[in-house]
Copies of this chain bind each other. A is one copy, B any other.
């Protein structure tokens, strides 16, 4: 058979030991925080029926689904006069974790204790054009609670974000808005049917500035008077309490349009309650009301979150919000939920950029037993076993080869301790261990595990 030059599909990645150690560190940290809040992990299959996935991500999203050819002879009973794709593909790869979660909740509703607090850490696949920082396979890490309208849930998400980034050592700012407030904007701007257009436009405020946002709204048919009202809102400054009071005034009919927005007022009430809970519980990271925050996602109905690293420019590293009808499409209406998603790749980049990964991740093996011959090998095997049983990561070099080669191996794997034992150690029943960084070397009775562990700082 001809020899193939191996490669992987574009937009996908291999994860070597270093990347895995770092990714596991991020996920383990996130998981440990989720657990202290009583969230439980689930997993769904990589493949879902296309009927579950299609129509959930818009027309563009449908095109980005990876479809799986039916097994057996997929083309056997095909009508070539009709579109082929839907005839030969019934399954697709998971595009996100949200739709499979909604499907899961509906399918297992009788086995679930609501409020249902779950998290899920799995890869998703999108046939996007690959580019720097955008992959066709990447992990998502979602945490949601469904079946409760209480804002204690929003609070918990904020607390978990705070705890996760606190543990990771990343200073973040947490931005919060409320979809009902955005609806209020559209209402008092006299364009209640244009809430999506307005939302999409003001979502870009950070990137393109107020002027361009106003142009975009004009393009979408918002009248000048309406745009003036939006400008009034986006220009509000001051403390949370001051902004809140000003917004309340506008929603009560105090804007240029004089229109009252009950929905907007409800949104403000929710924001006020949530900020009150945050103050009561105590959150270390700065939490800010951000009236321009929209996240473009149409299904949010209440709180909207976004998290940014304060010391590294990379955009949002975490975001989410409340939704009221995620499960409706699968036949279970009126189940309100709220969730956030941690951007694993971006968090990885922030930790790399700020050099925040613990140095210990680089080192996986603590001690290497160099091997000089068959007898020496047999001598160290039970000692290595005792140390492993005590939890130390130990390697025994598998060949009695040149010491130089064994030292090189220790060096490349960043192994900090090496043990070389010959006939004198075997006669004395000792183990000789060298700290490669300091050069310190010491001999221990082979049975004195405690002393060896202490020398290894284990």
Q: Using A4-B331, A44-B8, A330-B3 as known contacts, say yes or no to A66 and B55 having CB atoms under 8 A apart.
A: no
> Which residue in B47, B49, B281, B330 is a CB contact (below 8 Å) of A382?
B281
A388 CA to B164 CA, complexed, in Å: 12
**A57-B237 Cα distance, complex, nearest whole Å:** 66
Determine which residue in A75, A148, A150 has the highest number of CB atoms from chain B within 10 A of its CB, and name it. Answer: A150
A12 touching B45 in the complex, CB below 8 Å, given contacts A150-B399, A159-B385: yes
Q: Which of B43, B71, B91, B159 contacts A14 (CB 8 A)?
A: B43
Q: Which of A14, A103, A399 has the most CB of B within 10 A?
A: A14
A351-365 at interface with B (beta carbon < 8 Å): 364-365
Q: Which of A32-40, A181-189, A222-230, A285-293 contacts B (4 or more CB under 8 A)?
A: A32-40
Tell whether, in the assembled complex, residue A382 and residue B20 are in contact, meaning their CB atoms are under 8 Å apart: no
Partner of A377, one of B71, B152, B159: B152
CB neighbours of A404 from chain B (8 A)? none
Contact across chains for B45 and A17 when beta carbons are under 8 A apart: no
Distance in Å: Cβ of A98 to nearest Cβ of chain B: 14
Chain B nearest CB: distance from A376 CB in Å? Answer: 11
For the complex formed, measure the closest distance between the CB of A34 and the CB atoms of chain B, giving whole angstroms.
Answer: 9
Which of A6, A38, A377, A378 has the most chain B CB atoms inside 10 A of its CB?
A: A6
- Within the complex, the shortest CB–CB distance from A325 to chain B, in Å, comes to 12
In angstroms, Cα B51 to Cα A149, docked, is 51
Distance A389 CA – B159 CA, assembled complex (angstroms): 11
User: Considering the complex, which residues of chain A in the window 44-89 have a beta carbon less than 8 Å from any beta carbon of chain B?
Assistant: 44-49, 51-52, 55, 63-64, 66-69, 71-72, 74-75, 80, 84-85, 88-89
In chain A between 138 and 188, which residues have their CB closer than 8 angstroms to a CB of chain B? Answer: 145, 148-150, 152-153, 155-156, 159, 163
Q: Given A49-B8, A85-B75, A378-B277, does the pair A365, B68 have CB atoms closer than 8 Å?
A: no
Is A13 part of the contact surface with B, judged by Cβ < 8 Å?
yes
**Cβ-defined contact, A43 with B15, below 8 A:** yes
| Residue-wise interface mask of A (385-398) relative to B, using a CB-CB cutoff of 8 A (1 in contact, 0 not) | 10011011111101
Q: Determine if A434 is an interface residue (Cβ-Cβ < 8 Å).
A: no
Are B71 and A42 closer than 8 Å at their CB atoms?
no
**Alpha-carbon distance A391/B41, docked complex (angstroms):** 17
CB contact under 8 A between A17 and B38, given known A3-B329, A281-B382: no
Which one of A110-118, A298-306, A417-425 is at the B interface?
A110-118
- Selected from B14, B41, B69, the residue in CB contact (under 8 A) with A20 is B41
| A385: contacting residue among B3, B63, B106, B281, CB under 8 A | B281
The minimal Cβ–Cβ distance linking A42 to chain B, given in whole angstroms, is: 6
Identify the interface centre among A89, A111, A381: most chain B CB within 10 Å of its CB: A381
In contact, B399 and A148 (Cβ under 8 angstroms): yes
A9 touches B398 (CB 8 A): no
Q: A5-B331, A137-B45, A277-B381 are in contact. Are A38 and B80 (CB under 8 A)?
A: no
Q: Tell me whether A14 and B409 are in contact (CB under 8 A).
A: no
Pick the contact of A68 from B1, B68, B115, B396 — CB < 8 Å? B68
B69 near A67: Cβ-Cβ < 8 Å: yes
Q: Assess whether A1 is in contact with B377, with CB atoms less than 8 Å apart.
A: no
Is the pair B388, A36 in contact by a Cβ cutoff of 8 Å? yes
Residues of B within 8 A of A209 (CB): none
State A40–B71 Cα separation when bound (angstroms): 35
Nearest Cβ distance between residue A139 and chain B, in whole angstroms?
A: 10
Task: Kindly list 6 other residue pairs between chains A and B, CB separation below 8 angstroms, not including A148-B399, A277-B377.
Answer: A14-B108, A36-B394, A37-B395, A46-B125, A282-B381, A282-B385
A-B contact pairs, 26 of them (CB 8 A): A3-B331, A5-B330, A7-B52, A8-B52, A8-B107, A9-B47, A9-B49, A9-B91, A12-B45, A13-B45, A14-B42, A14-B44, A14-B104, A20-B40, A36-B391, A38-B394, A46-B137, A47-B137, A67-B69, A68-B68, A69-B88, A75-B84, A113-B409, A153-B398, A277-B377, A281-B385
